Structure formats: C-alpha cells, structure tokens
A = this chain, B = another copy of it.
C-alpha cells in the first residue's frame, strides 16, 4: 500500500483509473429534479397509449458534488492544448481564445431557436453573413455554405455538389481520383457519395505524380481531391497545372482545406484553380476540438457551383426584407443536416476572424510556417527527414533509422513524449512515410515551448540508442499506461453493466 501510494500522485483519487459514474452514489441521490407540477397531472399510460415505460433506465444516481468531483477527476486525466504543446500534424491544435467561448455563450446566441423568424435573429444572420464573406475572401471561392458539421461532412457536401452539377449538365460521372497520401475521410466521402475511388501514388517528392494523375483522369472522373499544402506539409508547386489538367477532362478540382492554416493571406485555393474546398473551422479558425468535436466544415465553391449549395445560406435582404435573410440556392442539393450549421462554432470562428483581421490571419500563416521550419531544423539531426526542404505549417519526420538501428518504433517515441509532458505528433500518417511523425506546432506556441519540445524529442532519440527497452514500455507517468487494444477489439465492452 505504502509502496503504491509513494508512487501515486497528489490527490490520489484524482489521478489514475476511476470508477464509472454509474457505480457511484447512493440509490436515492439526484441533483436536478423537475419543478413541482402546477398543471393537472396526466396518466402516462393513458396519454402514451400503453407505451409508458415499464422498466426504468438505469441512470447515474449522484449528487452535484459527486458529479463535479467525477468530471474534475476525468479532466485531470486528459491532456488538452491548455495542458501543453499539442503538435498533432494535420489537426492544427492552436490555442482556443477564451473570448470565443464567452461569445458563443451569450444568451443572444446560445438561446436562439433555429426556427425563429428571420427578423428576430438579425445579429446571428449578420454574423453568419460576415463569416461567409470572410471564408470566401480567404479561399478565393465566392459561394459559401456554413452548414457542414465537420471537414468530412464538407467533403461529402462538395462531392454532392459536383454530382448535382454533372448530373444537371447531363454528364453524370462515376469516379473520383485521390492521391495515396490523402486523409482517410476523402475516400470514405467518395464512397458515401456513391462514387468509386481511384487512388494514384504520390511522387518520390511527396507531390502529385502528374503522369499518374493524367493516366487516371478520363471523362468518367467527377473530381480530383487534393490536400494542398499536402499531408507531408509541402506546397505542391505544380498546382496550377494539376487543376488545369483536371479541368481538361471536365472534372472538378477539390481542395481538402485541412491545411489552410499555412496559406491564409498568402495564396488561395480559388486562385490555385480549385472548384471547391472545405475549411475546418476547428483547425484554422481556432474553434476548440472538444475532445473530438463539434467542429464545423464550411464549403466554399466557385460562382458557378454556388447554385447547388445546401440551404439555407445567408444573403443580404432586398427591399422590404430584413437586412439579412435565409436563402435557398436555385439548384440546391437540399440540406446536409438540420438547420443552419454548427452555429455555436460559427460564432467562435467569426470572433477569431474579427480579432485578427486580414493582416492578423496572414501573420498566422507566416508564423505557423516559420515555427514548423524552425522545429524541422532543430530536429532533422535526430530523426530522418524524408523531405529535406522548406516545409509549410507542418513537416513529417521518419523514425525509420531508429527502428532499424535500435528497434525503437515511432509508437515508442510518441509514448515516451508523454512522460516529458508533451502530446505526441500524429504518427503513422501519412501512410506514404515509414514510421511517420507528423509535426504541426501552430503559430500560437511560444518559442520556449518549441525549444522544450525539440529538446525532449532529441533526448528521446538519445534514449533510443542507450535504453531502447525502456522506451518500449513507455509511458511511465500517465494515469494509465499502454493499453491492450487488441483485447478491446476482440471482445468489445462498450458500456457499463451493473455488477452482479
């Protein structure tokens, strides 16, 4: 006991595994009850016609104190951007400004019902209109839908738009081409939209292999999807040729905008020749990731495609209308989710845009790229650097040598970083780099933090040489340690059950 305690951090019950909330409390506990009924009671069985519940659900039975302690304890076991550097490549884990959190909680935003008359939500519509404008401006693509709930949802929406446009033009198509470095959502969205995925290999240099692209393109191809800057953190300098080539067969060029943070104010997907783009507001526009969501994935399209966007979009009112009104584009595909979009997220993104302005957004890109290059330079001695050139906002290291020489894998390095107090980078993505470590520091990390992170990774590379076995067992200091993931998948336990 003592021994164990001596290794248990402060507030022992506050760290390490914790009972499920379903196993806490006394049976009669609860925290918020309905108010006393001030209207005549109803006989549930009568009004519900025999569908009244027979067996009550088993829900937690706890007091408010127990709830706060429980979630405080859980929070203590979590690592967020506020806990330390979170260089998850492709995820843009920048700081989430607190004023955004305040803004979305203002009653004039949080308390709005989605079906209120338009003249009672003019502030909200003005905000969405302003955000549409800003996204059109940074993307160079004038048609904007704020409806998609996340990046993948935006991809799907854009593909639906392409389908509608091709079908509308009497030119239905069946295939979508993507490079092998693409994020998994791209091919998955392709399938959901009823297209077939054609994957082309990337070039040696991580860029699009133009020949492979040309080979894959034909008049049955609806679109080519590309992340640019791409998933190895490089800007594809052939981009104008790529989009031209795609357009040549009557296909659309789609930009996965997950990496917009690198190019804000420096170059615009529309100017690169893309026809459509999604933007992850939860990456580039500083809205929090929420432990997995909610995000928001607005889609920006060319003027020609704007008529297909899902409804509603917000436009300025004309004579006799309020200043801003909802609008259904003429050939709208319909709607990809309920109501307007993830409005609470849009408020945050809008606040961010207004805080920074055009100049500030441009500085974001510059600093993000500068910080990534700085880290890359500091780290390229300790790890393999497959693409040794200027990178954009992120770069990919490889642990191939560490693996070959010491049998230390990238996973070990990642887990060991946890002991040093850092969140690991994205690992094993993109698939085209062996033992990949994809590092995106973001512009909000101070130099101190960048240096401390580089120091840690360099120290770990040293440990790989001297104590590889120690690394296999890392981490040592986290609330739980390496998990048996195989067991979780083999025999899935996906919910609490009462103890017998």
Contacts and interface: CB of A to CB of B under 8 A. Distances in A.
A170 interface: no
Binding site secondary structure of chain A: loop
Interface residues of A, number: 53
A96 to B, nearest CB: 9
A362 B479 CA distance: 41
Contacts of A81: 65
A393 to B, nearest CB: 17
A82 B72 contact: yes
Given A2-B467, A446-B26, A84 B10 contact: no
Interface in A1-32: 1-2, 5-15, 24-26, 29
B12 A477 contact: yes
Given A83-B14, A84-B11, A420-B12, A476 B5 contact: yes
Nearest to A478: B10
Interface string A54-94: 00000000011110110010001101011110000000000
A98 interface: yes
Interface in A438-493: 444-448, 452, 459, 463, 467, 470, 475-479
Number of chain copies forming the complex: 2
Nearest to A419: B5
Nearest to A29: B446
A68 B84 contact: no
A374 interface: no
B10 A7 contact: no
A69 B449 CA distance: 11
A124 interface: no
Contact of A79 (B11, B63, B95, B479): B11
Contact of A65 (B65, B446, B477): B446
Interface in A400-452: 418-421, 444-448, 452
A63 B11 contact: no
B84 A9 contact: no
B12 A65 contact: no
Contact of A477 (B7, B418, B421): B7
Given A69-B82, A69-B84, A419 B12 contact: yes
Given A66-B446, A470-B2, A11 B83 contact: yes
